[in-house]
Structure 1
Amino acid sequence: MGSEQPILATDRLTLEPLRAEHAEPLVDVFADPELSRYYPGDLTRRENAEAMVRQRLAYSGPPELGHWAFVRDGAVIGLGHLRPSWELPDELPEIGWYLARAHGGRGLATEAARALLRYGLGELALDSVWALVHTDNTPSLRLAQRLGFLRVGSGIHYGDMWHHVHVALPGRTPGPPGTEGTSAP
């Protein structure tokens, strides 16, 4: 560890380290009422969504970890993170993903999250990667399952909201689409 946060590429996306120029489209992603319902604050209020993006821009953890903008055809369509958890003990590495609703249902969130997970477990050789998924967020729960996460419990996280706690371990992460039975490097 200790290197800079890389640009990650998939077949359809570029995951760019989060920068100020990504902020405005990400505010729009977070302000969507459908996404906002999984957060304790009302992100449909623009100032709350702006604060959420500012918080992510202010990340100051290990330089090889952080937040990535999901870019497709030059447009920012989502955000992901692989960083020390703000909720779990011992700064365990936590992954998260957010995709603009207009881009849902095409496997893009899975593609982006898979790239972050492979980077963490493969290139960084992390012992585990954790995910906290709101108990009502069925699409994200399914995504975690597709990525090979194991559900290990539930608890109140991120503003007094119930989340399932998942863990991904080396060798259990599915590869690209069509190779789901193989393990990650």
Structure 2
Amino acid sequence: MDPGTAPRELRTARLLLRGWRADDAAAFAALNADPEVMRHIATGPLDRRASEDLRARLQHEWERAGHGLWALERRDDGALLGFCGLAVPGFARGLAAGTVEVGWRLRRDAWGHGYATEASRAALRVAWADLGRDHVVSLVHPDNARSLAVCERLGMRVVGRTTHVRTGWPLLVLRADRPRPEAPPRRAAAGDPP
């Protein structure tokens, strides 16, 4: 794999993070049409065409940036649960060039099972190891308690506020920093007490 490129597929204990396929269209459209899933997303629910346009943009992001949002599949039954991954957040004002966001969207029956946290932890490992990132952000509407809880489990902290470029919706900017390697044990020097 080239430096700065994410793997096209990741496996966790319960999940497969993979590239997008044509047969994802119906499940992806259902996810994006659900008003409860989209309640804290600035676009609101998407119709089938808008969902297909989004899926095409997600695929293009991989080609352009070498990373993006993976389709999120449950390994035990192959169900498409949503997406998770590392993307360039072009929808928010005032972020530094090159900022990378860890983001997720899951269908409602997948909420509360730890899937977003599990997938996001895998994505962050890719950000540190494969993309060489020192920090990654997540942009979350302040009322989205579920996503804020995921961010807390990921060790992210609020570092600012911004707004969505088209809608003006408020967004919290949360950040995770690359874990520092543990220092090797200090060797005893001459003259140190035993």
Which category describes the TM-score, using the shorter chain as reference length? 0.7 to 0.9
User: Which residue number corresponds to residue 89 of structure 1?
Assistant: 96
Q: Distance in 2 between matches of 1:68 and 1:31?
A: 19
Q: Secondary structure at the match of 1:81?
A: strand
Cα distance change on mapping 1:19 and 1:66 into 2, 3 Å:
farther
TM-score (norm 1): 0.83
2:171 to 139, 163, 173: 163
Whether the 8 Å CA contact 2:29–2:47 is kept in 1: the answer is: no
> Match for 1:149: what amino acid?
M
Whether the 8 Å CA contact 2:6–2:131 is kept in 1: the answer is: no
How much is the aligned-residue C-alpha RMSD, in angstroms?
2.1
Q: Secondary structure at the match of 2:134?
A: coil
Whether the 8 Å CA contact 2:10–2:17 is kept in 1: the answer is: yes
Cα distance change on mapping 1:98 and 1:43 into 2, 3 Å:
same
> Match for 1:113: what amino acid?
S
Provide structure 1 residue ranges, at least 5 long, that are not aligned to the other structure: 173-181
Computing the radius of gyration from Cα coordinates, the structure with the larger value is 2
Please list every run of at least 4 consecutive aligned residues from structure 1 whose deviation after the TM superposition is greater than 6 angstroms.
Answer: none
1:34-183 to 2 correspondence within 5 Å?
34-59=36-61, 60-63=63-66, 65-72=67-74, 73-86=77-90, 87=92, 88-157=95-164, 159-171=167-179
Aligned length: 172
Provide structure 2 residue ranges, at least 5 long, that are not aligned to the other structure: 183-194
Q: How far did residue 162 of structure 1 move?
A: 0.8
Whether the 8 Å CA contact 2:32–2:47 is kept in 1: the answer is: no
Cα distance change on mapping 1:3 and 1:50 into 2, 3 Å:
closer
TM-score (norm 2): 0.80
Q: Distance in 2 between matches of 1:91 and 1:9?
A: 26
